């Protein structure tokens, strides 16, 4: 069995951002040489997500509105966590959007449904964040 590990780094300009990382993940898969197996991708931080959904700008605005309704950024004082930090909303948003994705690798490709794309979801940006890509198989 082969094993591949890579850490990608993201530094968003805004506090919240969704980035389609599918091309970067496909590059990792090519680099790994693995044809059959499983790919795991997760942020190495607790205020960002990796998730699978549609690459459609309207939907991404809907996610922003939906997440702000459930866990609004402000006022900061509404959260117990916000003493030293101001990112309680980011922890909550990340929990809603999930930590990681696992994708089947078949015939050297991500075995996706028609509209599936992998996104990095940043909820407390403007600093460097790491994303782990682990692939196992043969
Ligand atoms: Zn925090």
Over residues 59-66, the mean pLDDT reads 98
Instruction: Report residue 88's pLDDT band, with 50, 70 and 90 as the boundaries.
Output: very high
Distance 92 CA to ligand 1 centre (A): 10
The answer as to whether 117 is a domain residue is: yes
Per-residue pLDDT at 57: 97
Does residue 55 belong to any structural domain of this protein? yes
Closest alpha carbon to 50 in 89, 18, 12, 27:
18
Is position 6 within any domain? no
Average pLDDT, the chain: 98
In a 13 Å sphere around the CA of 12, the CA atoms on its Cβ side amount to 17
Residue 28 lies in a domain: yes
Q: How far is the C-alpha of 125 from the C-alpha of 14, rounded, in Å? A: 6
* Ligand 1 centre distance from Cα of residue 86 (Å): 7
CATH of residue 70's domain is 2.60.120.460
Structure tokens at 130: 């790491």
Containing structural domain, residue 79: 12-137
In the chain, % of residues over pLDDT 90: 100
Confidence band for 114, pLDDT divided at 50, 70 and 90: very high
Q: How many domains does the chain have?
A: 1
Q: Is residue 16 part of a domain?
A: yes
Check residue 110 and give its pLDDT: 98
Instruction: Provide mean pLDDT across the span 100-114.
Output: 98
Q: Are 118 and 50 in contact (CB under 8 A)?
A: yes
The dihedrals phi and psi of 71, each to the nearest 5 degrees, come to: -145, 75
Provide the H-helix boundaries in the chain: 22-32, 57-70, 88-97
Distance from the alpha carbon of residue 68 to the mean position of ligand 1, in angstroms:
17
Distance 82 CA to ligand 1 centre (A): 7
Question: 38 CA distance to ligand 1 centroid (A)?
Answer: 31
Say what the pLDDT of residue 104 is.
98
Q: Is residue 49 part of a domain?
A: yes
In a domain, 31, yes or no: yes
Strand residue runs (E) in the chain: 2-11, 17-20, 37-43, 48-53, 101-106, 109-110, 117-122, 128-137
The CA distance from 84 to 100, in Å, is 27
Confidence of residue 100 (pLDDT cuts 50, 70, 90): very high
| C-alpha 15 to ligand 1 mean position (Å) | 13
Give residues whose Cβ lies within 5 Å of ion ligand 1. Answer: 85, 87
**Residue 2 is assigned to a structural domain of this protein:** no
**pLDDT tens, position by position, 22-53:** 999 999 999 999 999 999 999 999 999 999 99
């Amino acid at each position: 069995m082969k094993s591949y590990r890579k850490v990608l780094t993201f530094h968003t300009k805004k506090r919240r951002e969704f980035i389609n990382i599918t091309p970067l993940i496909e590059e990792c898969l090519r680099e790994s040489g693995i044809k059959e197996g499983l790919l795991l991708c997760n942020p190495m931080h607790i205020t960002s997500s990796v998730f699978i959904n549609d690459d459609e700008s309207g939907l991404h605005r809907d996610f922003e509105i939906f997440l702000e309704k459930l866990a609004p950024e402000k006022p900061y004082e509404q959260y117990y966590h916000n003493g030293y930090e101001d990112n309680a909303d980011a922890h909550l948003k990340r929990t809603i959007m999930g930590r990681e994705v696992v994708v089947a690798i078949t015939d050297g490709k991500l075995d996706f449904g028609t509209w599936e794309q992998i996104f990095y979801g940043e909820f407390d940006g403007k600093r460097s964040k790491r994303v782990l890509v682990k692939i196992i198989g043969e």
